[in-house]
Amino acid sequence: MTGTTMHSTRASRGSRVSRWGLRVACLATVLLVTACNDSNTPKPPEPTQPPKPKTSMIPSLVTNAMAADAPAAASAPAASAATSAASAPAASASEPAAKASSATVAPTSAPASQAPSELITRGKYLARAADCAACHTSADGAPFAGGVPLKSPFGTFYGTNITPDKTNGIGGWTADEFYRALHDGVAPDKVLYPAMPYTSYRQMTRADSDAIYAYLMSVKPAAVPNRKHDLSFPYNMRFAMRAWDWMFLKDTLPDASKGQSADWLRGRYLANALGHCAECHTPRGTFGQLDKAKPLGGAALARIAAPDLTPDALAARGWTVKDLQTFFGTGIAPQGSAFGEMYPVVHLSTQYLTGDDLRALSTYLLGDAPPAPKPLPEHPDTSKLMAGRNLYLAVCAGCHAADGTGKPHVAVSMLGNSTVRQKDPRNLIVTILDGVEAQKFPGLEAMQDMPGFDRRLTDAQISELSNYLRVAYGGQAGDVNSEIVKQLRQK
């Protein structure tokens, strides 16, 4: 049900839930709301440690792939934030942040200057780890001033102004109110839509919420009014979200990997509470809630799918802890580059993680006992795939090299590329159809753009090409047919 209207944006989230099914569900929730009252909102005890992962649906989750450059003054402080932020989350709950919070209630225009600078630095680091900018900083706007369009099947949400501006932002909020927004999805004046991923942030410690609060209170107030969400009936009925919360906010999501080391625990907190990886990488059930049976099992977004991140699936595509660290830290690994909705995740968020946190996140994904990366077949039989091979040499090899190993600063390797190694050919085909925009990577690395071939190649040619790549470079079966290409072209 990802209509053609979404084609133009990578920012939209697909949903397998039918519009009517949701309407019915939504109306049912409205009835529920009327039947019950405010006490519906769950009020679990405040955690002193990150609780077990809790997730639930985001009817609309989306990132604005275009959220462009993060707030200025990017690089330097990440390293200094390292020491404090890298410590295990359990410890952070007892840090002075919790006490500082009551002192940062915002009486004047710049209350945060009262917060100690280490707290602000830590908050900045955490805000990046949680990728607040993806939805709250627009490409051409001031940091955290909002206005980022987030397309969804229900209409367009706009990320709000979360600068300390009193009128348009959250300058009048207390640290308690801020924590409640992150934890319960409830603002002082309204119930929030789960387009704001409080379903994941719910697991954030109070101390970390307070640090982010202190940081946001220290950024420049921007007098930018919020844009009204453009939602269709019945989704424009904000109060119905209370019933949705009541039904889904309690959901828990089991871990995708096994572990108990300090790295694994820290990685769990980074992935689940801050990075909200599950919101894109976990498939959804009938009501759009995350499927508890398949944590991080992969999910189709609007166009590019978020791949399966379970340990066996990662190992089958050749990933190791070390290569994942490189991928999250730089956006490029031997297995390929981050693109589509994953690019802003690296660009705005994971590239700023400390080495310790990169290792922790990667350890969490693969588990304390990572499965061995699967080798590629040594002599793949491509004798029946000559048409695909010729196409590859004619249109792709100029950038990706005749032997598929790519060219430094030009294009990534196809040999062993994790997109080529996916069982599901979707991302491979969509990349050939749409191309990849020019992207900047940390350091001075940049790649030119890859053109889309939707006009230049027929469905049959794209399927021949895909089959050649899958067999020659990906250890996959050559089982793509033009029907699959045709369907993806029309999406």
Q: Give me 445's structure tokens.
A: 């690395």
Stretch of residues binding ligand HEC (CB under 6 A), selected from 17-25, 88-96, 102-110, 410-418: 410-418
Question: In whole angstroms, how close is the CB of 293 to ligand HEC at the nearest point?
Answer: 20
**151 touches ligand HEC by CB under 6 A:** no
Residue 300 three-state SS: strand
Distance CA 9, CA 430 (A): 13
Q: Are 361 and 350 in contact (CB under 8 A)?
A: yes
List the one residue from 399, 442, 482, 486 that touches ligand HEC (CB under 6 A): 399
Residue 86 three-state SS: helix
Stretch of residues binding ligand HEC (CB under 6 A), selected from 17-25, 88-96, 152-160, 481-489: 152-160
Q: Which residues contact 176 (CB under 8 A, 6 or more apart)?
A: 101
- Cα 155 to Cα 19, 303, 482: the distances in Å are 12, 17, 32
Stretch of residues binding ligand HEC (CB under 6 A), selected from 26-34, 114-122, 282-290, 412-420: 412-420
**15 touches ligand HEC by CB under 6 A:** no
Nearer to ligand HEC, 20 or 253 (CB): 253
Minimal CB distance to ligand HEC: which residue?
336
If you count DSSP H runs as helices and E runs as strands, how many of each does the chain have, helices first? 21, 11
List the one residue from 95, 131, 210, 357 that touches ligand HEC (CB under 6 A): 131
- Number of Cα atoms under 13 Å in the Cβ half of residue 468: 22
Write out the binding residues for ligand HEC, residues 371-390 only, by CB under 6 A: none
List the one residue from 84, 289, 419, 463 that touches ligand HEC (CB under 6 A): 419
**400 touches ligand HEC by CB under 6 A:** yes
**418 touches ligand HEC by CB under 6 A:** yes
The beta strands (E) that lie in 86-198 are given as 149-152, 155-158, 186-187, 190-191
Distance CA 62, CA 197 (A): 10
Nearer to ligand HEC, 178 or 247 (CB): 178
- List, in sequence order, the alpha helices (H) in 150-274: 175-184, 198-201, 206-218, 241-248, 262-268
Nearest residue to 149 (alpha-carbon basis) of 216, 228, 221: 228
Distance CA 469, CA 350 (A): 29
Question: In whole angstroms, how close is the CB of 48 to ligand HEC at the nearest point?
Answer: 19
Stretch of residues binding ligand HEC (CB under 6 A), selected from 26-34, 191-199, 285-293, 379-387: 191-199
ω before 371 within 30° of 0 (cis)? no
Nearer to ligand HEC, 157 or 264 (CB): 157
Question: In whole angstroms, how close is the CB of 41 to ligand HEC at the nearest point?
Answer: 14
Any idea which residue has 């590859």 for tokens? Answer: 392
Residue count, binding to ligand HEC (CB under 6 A): 73
Write out the binding residues for ligand HEC, residues 426-465 only, by CB under 6 A: 427-428, 431-432, 436, 439, 447-448, 450, 453, 465
**195 touches ligand HEC by CB under 6 A:** yes
**222 touches ligand HEC by CB under 6 A:** no
Write out the binding residues for ligand HEC, residues 259-318 only, by CB under 6 A: 271, 275-277, 279-281, 301, 304, 306-307, 309, 317
Nearer to ligand HEC, 225 or 285 (CB): 225
Question: In whole angstroms, how close is the CB of 419 to ligand HEC at the nearest point?
Answer: 4
**11 touches ligand HEC by CB under 6 A:** no
Nearer to ligand HEC, 84 or 282 (CB): 282
Nearest residue to 149 (alpha-carbon basis) of 62, 241, 34: 62
- Number of Cα atoms under 13 Å in the Cβ half of residue 178: 30
Distance CA 28, CA 240 (A): 9
Write out the binding residues for ligand HEC, residues 47-76 only, by CB under 6 A: 61, 63
List the one residue from 411, 415, 430, 471 that touches ligand HEC (CB under 6 A): 411
Write out the binding residues for ligand HEC, residues 337-356 only, by CB under 6 A: 337-342, 345, 350
List the one residue from 74, 315, 395, 401 that touches ligand HEC (CB under 6 A): 395
Kindly tell me the sign of the dihedral angle through the C-alpha atoms of 41, 43, 49, 51. negative
Q: Give me 337's structure tokens.
A: 């580059």
Phi, psi for residue 202 in degrees, rounded to 5? -50, -30
With b for 16 or more beta-carbon neighbours within 10 A and e for fewer, the 135-153 pattern comes to bbbbeebbbbbbbbbbbbb
Stretch of residues binding ligand HEC (CB under 6 A), selected from 21-29, 40-48, 187-195, 255-263: 187-195
